[in-house]
Amino acid sequence: MHLSLRVLLVLLLLVVSTPATASDWLRFRGDSGTGLSTDEKSLPTTWGDEENLKWKCELPGPGLSSPIVVGDKVFVTCWTGYAAGEGSSDNMENLKRALVCVDRNSGDILWTESVDAVLPEDEFRGMFAENGYASHTPASDGERVYCFFGKSGVYAFDLEGKQLWNTSVGTGLDPRHWGSASSPVLYNDMVIITAGAESESIVALDKTDGHEVWKQEAPTLSGTWTTPVIVQVDDQRTDIVLNVPGEVWGLNPQNGKLRWYCVQPGGESNSATGSLVVSQGPDPVAYVLGSRDSDAVAVSVGGKGDVTDSAVWTNNASGRIGTPVLYEGRLYWVSGGIATCVDAETGDQVYKERLRGVSGGGGGRGPGGDYSSAVIADDKLYYISRNGDGFVIKAGEEFEQLATNRFDSDTGEFSATPAVSDGQLFIRSTSTLYCVEQE
């Protein structure tokens, strides 16, 4: 082959493959589920329909899943065909899930891949309507995108939309009819799925072909909507850390077996909705906020057996559904229009302040509360309420609210956690994906 032709082919392959970069946001809440961006580019403090908006993309259907970013592509999931808004059917047989790929430079939809639903599903009513059929955020290794669609299965696609495999991890439904929401995470050559509603289990699948590597069942998982974190304990050990109703678990990623657990103080809990966050580096600590029935706890990762008595601290700090973000020794979260900061070492409250500019119509006080979690970039905390209020708070021991922003033209709900990549903030409502960038 002529040398120049070889060079051209190599360049084309590099463009088509869209390899992952350090600034990519590859899973729910970014790298290791921390909610932290290490980008050096500054994000805007203010935005709106006519300010610092690079583009917006009308999505094919609704969903609560968060966007992920792989190179020049942004991925979100949604559902179509049934209970999907104006023009959709009231016949559940028309329900489909979809993975949508959007060009991050233009906001154009590059492709949409739909899959049929495994029926029957929960009817779109009551508390289930607060969740819907597309709440699991996809995950990527930079070459493939892995989607969990509840009882409709786990799917792998390449970056051009080719379906590579799919498999079932159970066909059960949540007995409370709250739906399913845990997002996939990746470890080495495995996709880890928390299939609480579907089979009361946590399952590891081979990334290449989807075959089951291991499966561990536990009735407690039926009340779990959280997403696990892969934690490098030391040079010899890695744990899967997951909070379930009233407890924190550490699992062996090679077989899924329980290595350690910590019981959260307070009363017994029957649900876990807000995921945990884990400190990075030596001597990692997992932090879990309290729920309606159990208190918050900080526990060292890497123990053996019952480690409840060795918890770093406990208190009654509650965050309902969102996940805290850990930054420079402090935990931050927002719930119901209240911003809270605590000292990560002691659990002592640093501040608890009501946010200015909270719009009417719930503010996180409704049946489902606020669903999204805060992220931190450029020394600022970014949080999107369910009503679409975009709050920006300066990180630090003193509360300083920098801005409140809205897309006034969007009347949908904002339940997705934002993604951050290379100076861009990706915000998703039920109907629209936005790219915010400094003009």
pLDDT of amino acid 408 = 96
The arithmetic mean of pLDDT across residues 410-416, rounded, is: 96
Residue whose C-alpha is closest to residue 187's, from 225, 122, 231: 231
The arithmetic mean of pLDDT across residues 213-226, rounded, is: 96
Q: Name the pLDDT band for 1 (thresholds 50, 70, 90).
A: very low
Rounded Cα distance between 152 and 140, Å, is: 19
Strand order in the sheet with 212-217: 185-187, 190-195, 201-206, 212-217
Return the structure tokens found at 406. 């809205």
Give per-residue burial for 186-198: e unless 16+ CB within 10 Å, then b.
beeebbbbbbbbb
DSSP assigned state of 68: E
The arithmetic mean of pLDDT across residues 379-387, rounded, is: 96
pLDDT digits 0-9 by tens, 135-188: 999 999 999 999 999 999 999 999 999 999 999 999 999 988 999 999 999 999
- Phi/psi for 92 (5° steps) reads -60, -25
Lowest-pLDDT choice from 96-105, 157-166, 364-373: 364-373
What is the reported pTM?
0.93
Confidence check: pLDDT of 17 > 60: no
Confidence check: pLDDT of 261 > 70: yes
Residue whose C-alpha is closest to residue 393's, from 351, 438, 346: 351
Q: Name the pLDDT band for 291 (thresholds 50, 70, 90).
A: confident
Rounded Cα distance between 47 and 65, Å, is: 22
pLDDT of amino acid 191 = 99
Confidence check: pLDDT of 326 > 90: yes
Report the CATH fold assignment for 17-437.
Methylamine Dehydrogenase; Chain H (2.130.10)
| 3-class secondary-structure state, position 17 | helix
| 435: CB partners within 8 A, 6+ apart | 53, 54, 55, 56, 74, 104, 107, 424, 425, 426
SS (H, E, C) 108-174: CEEEEEEEECCCCCCCCCHHHHHCCCCCCCCEECCCEEEEECHHHCEEEEECCCCEEEEECCCCCCC
pLDDT of amino acid 7 = 39
pLDDT of amino acid 280 = 85
DSSP assigned state of 396: S
Q: ∠ at Cα 16 (14, 22), nearest 5°?
A: 65
Contact assessment for residue 315 and residue 344, using Cβ atoms and an 8 Å cutoff:
no
Which residue has 């911003």 as its token pair? 339
Lowest-pLDDT choice from 20-24, 73-77, 135-139, 198-202: 20-24
pLDDT of amino acid 5 = 42
Confidence check: pLDDT of 65 > 60: yes
Q: Name the pLDDT band for 269 (thresholds 50, 70, 90).
A: confident
Q: What is the mean pLDDT of the chain?
A: 92
Tally of CA atoms within 13 A in the half-sphere of 72 that contains its CB: 12
